[in-house]
Amino acid sequence: MADCIFCKIAAKEIPSTIVAESDAWVAFRDINPQAPTHILIIPRKHLERLADAAPEDRELLGELLLAAREVAQKEGLEKEGYRVVINNGPFAGQSVYHLHIHVLGGRPLGWPPG
Ligand code: AMP
């Protein structure tokens, strides 16, 4: 999508701190981190929301979760734990309409979320 900021990050048209990537996804540091480690994982395919995923995206969705695990391991979050979040739509606070997984760790995280 031409005007999507995360598509531009995936295409390396705008800068980001990429920590890992594959043919299907890119993981980079959140510009406004909410925890000592805050990484976003995006599919290269432009899907606006989780709600737009279809059965044909089954493999991609699995890859994104495995990417979250890989990134958490790489960042040394496995022992203490970490949180994986997908905000879907306005009530969840989604601000960028390109599907992304947040991986948050490095401090105790409260529950329930605000
Ligand atoms: P959400 O509120 O779930 O849509 O999350 C969007 C996230 O994208 C927020 O945590 C932002 O800080 C982050 N973000 C927005 N623009 C950028 C950018 N250019 N580079 C890195 N992270 C970004």
pLDDT given at position 11: 97
* The total number of structural domains that make up the chain: 1
Is 112 part of a structural domain of the chain?
no
Is 52 part of a structural domain of the chain?
yes
C-beta of residue 79 within 8 angstroms of C-beta of residue 73: no
What's the CA gap between 44 and 23, in Å, rounded? 8
Is 111 part of a structural domain of the chain?
no
Q: Is the CB of 15 under 6 A from ligand 1?
A: no
| Amino acid sitting at position 58 | R
What's the CA gap between 27 and 10, in Å, rounded? 9
**Cα 51 to ligand 1 centre (Å):** 19
pLDDT given at position 2: 84
Q: Is the CB of 57 under 6 A from ligand 1?
A: no
- pTM of the predicted protein model: 0.98
Per-block mean pLDDT, blocks of 10 residues, the chain (114 long): 95 98 98 98 98 98 98 98 98 98 98 93
pLDDT given at position 28: 98
The domain of 11 spans 5-105
Is 73 part of a structural domain of the chain?
yes
Is 88 part of a structural domain of the chain?
yes
| Amino acid sitting at position 12 | K
Residue to mutate, 9, 32, 34, ligand 1, most ligand atoms under 8 Å from C-beta: 32
Residue 46: CB atoms within 10 Å: 15
pLDDT given at position 65: 98
Q: Is the CB of 30 under 6 A from ligand 1?
A: yes
pLDDT given at position 114: 86
Q: Is the CB of 37 under 6 A from ligand 1?
A: no
Q: How far is residue 94 CA from its own chain's centroid?
A: 12
pLDDT given at position 78: 98
Question: Helix, strand or coil for residue 72?
Answer: helix
Which CATH number covers residue 26?
Answer: 3.30.428.10
pLDDT given at position 29: 98
Would residue 100 show up in a list of annotated catalytic residues for this protein? yes
